[in-house]
Amino acid sequence: MIYLNGKFMPIEQACIPVLDRGFIFGDGVYEVIPAYSRKPFRLTKHLRRLQHSLDGIRLNNPHSDKEWCNLIEQVIARNDEEDQSLYLHITRGVAKRDHAFPQVPPTVMILSNPLLPPPTELLTSGVAAVTSTDNRWIRCDIKSISLLPNVLLRQLAVDAGAVETILIRDGYLTEGSASSIFVIKDQVLLAPPQSHLILPGVTYEVVLELAAENNITYKIQDITEKELRQADEILLTSSTKEIMAVTRLDDQLVGNGKPGAKFSELHKLYQHYKATSMRAGIAH
Ligand code: PDD
């Protein structure tokens, strides 16, 4: 069951006019929010980022946070799985094709997909990643539905039998095609600074909070391509993949080629945090 423009319906019955600006121009933004045991995880943070994306494309937020919470809860309740990934999608609406903004209501959609944790084999072996030049636009802080560069970049990983493409812009690590990336060197967790060149990852923020609370030394700093390639460990994070270890980069082993100590520690802390915040019903 999905939500589309004020109504709940089976996905098969949902239709969007061909002149929707999401279809014509990729003119819209989105969010992906995990829900565990039917409770949205870090909902407030996701809604804040949604507001940032909407502001970035000059589109009014069609709903208050309270209304979003309510709609999301209803979509969760109308779907079977206990763990779901909610996809929020807002476009500038339906209008005759013209680049200039139309004065029309936005298209608002919420989808639910089953949320499956990464398979245990991938957590124990780690995953392969490839690198590529980050050729996206320079407002990567906006979670835009115009994802063609991300799609093309991610396919490079798939073509190479890898899980993610890690992006380098002007000699520095930015992020993955659909994830945030951390590097560990000499026991220090390194995170690229937030800027217009990367998406402010909600999972990225959780990881840094967990590091701060658990005496894991971390530094937010620019990370060179060389530092990425000489990393002891590389971590990939996202709302759907949680935390995974990258153990091969462009066919070179990362560290000793096995998920490292910092991965194990942060993965455990993340699972514990998830379980406790769900039990407490915290949706911050
Ligand atoms: N992607 N960077 C990019 C480019 C992303 O697309 C994502 C997430 C992230 C991680 O953000 P978060 O921790 O808030 O999920 C970083 C989502 C899952 C997607 O597009 O499906």
- For residue 29, pLDDT over 90 is answered with yes
Q: At a CB cut-off of 8 Å and minimum separation 6, what does 171 contact? A: 224, 225
Give the mean pLDDT of 77-99.
98
CA-closest residue to ligand 1 atom 1: 178
Is the distance from the beta carbon of residue 32 to the nearest atom of ligand 1 less than 6 Å? Answer: yes
**How far is the centre of ligand 1, averaged over its atoms, from the C-alpha of 237 (Å)?**
8
The residue from 39, 45, 143, 262 that is catalytic is 143
Mean pLDDT within 241-257: 97
The DSSP secondary structure of 134-163, one letter per residue, reads --S-S-TTS-BS--HHHHHHHHHHHHTT-S
Distance CA 123, CA 201 (A): 20
Under the banding of pLDDT at 50, 70 and 90, the label for residue 281 is low
Tell me the per-residue pLDDT of 225-237, one tens digit each, with 9 for 90 and over: 999 999 999 999 9
pLDDT band at 278 (very low <50, low <70, confident <90, very high): confident
Cβ-based neighbour number of residue 176 at 10 Å? 27
Q: What is the pLDDT at residue 280? A: 72
Q: Hey, is 120 helix, strand or coil?
A: helix
* Centroid of ligand 1 to alpha carbon of 175 (angstroms): 9
Among 162-171, 201-210, 273-282, where is mean pLDDT lowest?
273-282
Q: State the pLDDT at residue 251.
A: 86
Residue-wise pLDDT tens digits, 167-176:
999 999 999 9
- Our answer on whether the CB atom of 197 is closer than 6 Å to any ligand 1 atom is no
- Tokens 């390194």 locate to 190
No. of helices (H) and no. of strands (E), the chain: 8, 15
Asked if pLDDT for residue 218 goes beyond 70, the answer is yes
DSSP E strands in 37-137: the ranges are 39-40, 84-91, 107-114, 127-133
Are 184 and 264 contacting, i.e. CB atoms less than 8 angstroms apart? no
Mean pLDDT of 246-255: 97
Q: Pick from 141, 262, 257: which is nearest to 207 by CA?
A: 262
Cα atoms found within 13 Å of the Cα of residue 258, Cβ hemisphere only: 5
CA dihedral 210, 211, 213, 217 (to 10 degrees): 180
User: In the predicted model, what is the mean pLDDT of residues 257-281?
Assistant: 92
Give the CA count within 13 Å in the CB-facing half-sphere of 205: 14
Ligand 1 atom, smallest distance to 140 CA: 4
For a mutational test of ligand 1's pocket, the pick from 29, 30, 32, i.e. the residue with the most ligand atoms closer than 8 A to its C-beta, is: 32
- Does the annotation mark 219 as catalytic? no
Is 178 close to ligand 1, i.e. is its CB under 6 Å away?
yes
Give the residue-averaged pLDDT of 114-118: 94
What is the band of 282 on the pLDDT scale with cuts at 50, 70, 90? low
Phi/psi zone of residue 15: left (φ > 0), alpha (ψ -120 to 50 degrees), beta? beta
- pLDDT digit string, tens, across residues 36-60: 999 999 999 999 999 999 999 999 9
Identify any residues that bridge with 249 across adjacent strands, giving them in sequence order: 129, 252
The rounded distance, in Å, linking the Cα atoms of 201 and 180 is: 6
**Residue whose pair of structure tokens reads 């209304």 in the numeric block:** 67
Task: Kindly state if the Cβ of 165 falls inside 6 Å of ligand 1.
Answer: no
Mean pLDDT of 254-262: 98
Q: For the chain, what is the mean pLDDT?
A: 97
Polymer length of the chain: 284
What is the rounded distance in angstroms from the CA atom of residue 110 to the CA atom of residue 9? Answer: 11
pLDDT at 277 over 90: no
**Sign for the pseudo-dihedral over CA of 37, 42, 44, 50:** negative
> Taking a C-beta distance cutoff of 8 angstroms, is the pair 214, 264 a contact?
no
Residue 178 Cα to ligand 1 middle (Å): 5
Q: Is 91 in the pocket of ligand 1 (CB under 6 A)?
A: no
